Amino acid sequence: MSSTSTELSWRPNGLAGARFAPRARLVALARSMAGARRFASTLVLILAWQSASMAGLISARTLAAPSTILASAWALIVTGDLPYQLIVSLGRVAAGLAIGVTAGGLLAIVSGLSRRGEEIVDAPMQMLRTLPFLALVPLFILWFGIGETPKIGLVGLGSAFPIYLTLFAGIRGVDPKLMEAGRVFGLDRRGLIRNVVLPGALPSALVGLRYALGSAWLSLVVAEQINATAGIGYLINDARDFLRTDVIVVGLLVYALLGLGADALVRLVERRALAWRPTLVRG
């Protein structure tokens, strides 16, 4: 075989590309079929739920039918009640998440970059992390009353620990060889932190942000039990008093969709911020 034909076989548009094209199509087809199976299984479950409700096997007081839930969701959207409650809950999560991520990130940097900082910060954070979350609710009510402050504070507290733990581990897990290479290139301590340590810890920080978003929504569920007059939690509590299981399920679905949406947003940020990583899985 001549050198020209050898080079051609390894070109993307040559023989190698033609050889692997069917395999790529098979992989894409397998992925689409897997997605279809997931959708089909969910659809079968919903249809079985609807059939059981129509047959009287599941009472409306126990769990409303999917058709009733959809009708209630549409009614709440048309009247503007659901969008209003959603905006209130989003505001609480945004404020609490900003406080928690900022505090947790700063504490992780102090603790991760200094042994003395670890001795001062890490032990109190670990003790607070192990406290039962619900046990803090009475204290927050006594300290901050029953307004918006305890709700935002609980969300902030719940989102601070995932950021602290993952960022601390990311800082301490930076490859020593990269640190040594930075010193060889003449970087001082500040330059090492800015150009080596923090970029190296960014993947762990983004994982922590995903966990923090989940914790923020879970904390909001607890926080909105504190004399809330608006929000998705208030909507659920009001529906509970009137035995409206359809509205309760609508509220739970909103929580779930918000969590999924927030996680997808962080994944998008992760893809863009970590585009330099050769091990990043795309597609």
Could you report the per-residue pLDDT of 115-124, keeping only the tens digit for each? 888 888 888 8
- Report the C-alpha gap between 240 and 243 in whole angstroms: 5
* Residue-wise pLDDT tens digits, 200-230: 788 888 888 888 888 888 888 888 877 778 8
Tell me: the pLDDT tens digits for 123-142? 888 888 888 877 788 888 88
d(CA 279, CA 28): 20
- Asked if 49 contacts 59 with a C-beta cutoff of 8 angstroms, the reply is no
* CB burial of residue 147 (10 Å; 0-12, 13-18, 19+): exposed
Question: What is the DSSP secondary-structure string of 238-261?
Answer: HHHHTT-HHHHHHHHHHHHHHHHH
Domain limits of the chain?
Answer: 3-52, 70-273
What does the pLDDT read at residue 283? 44
* Other Cβ atoms within 10 Å of 152 Cβ, number: 24
Q: How far apart are CA 210 and CA 262, in angstroms?
A: 8
Q: Which residue has the higher pLDDT, 188 or 107?
A: 107
- Ranking 3-7, 35-39, 180-184, 204-208 by mean pLDDT, the lowest is 3-7
> Does the pLDDT of residue 74 top 90, yes or no?
yes
Phi and psi at 187, nearest 5°, equal -75, 135
> Taking the model in full, what pTM does it have?
0.72
Q: What is the chain's mean pLDDT, rounded?
A: 79
Please tell me the CATH code under which domain 70-273 is placed.
1.10.3720.10
**Measured distance CA(26)–CA(20) in Å, rounded:** 10
Contact 212, 163 (CB under 8 A): yes
Over 70: is that where the pLDDT of 237 sits? yes
Q: How far is CA 225 from CA 61, 63, 138, 231, 270, in A?
A: 22, 22, 12, 10, 33
What's residue 257's pLDDT? 85
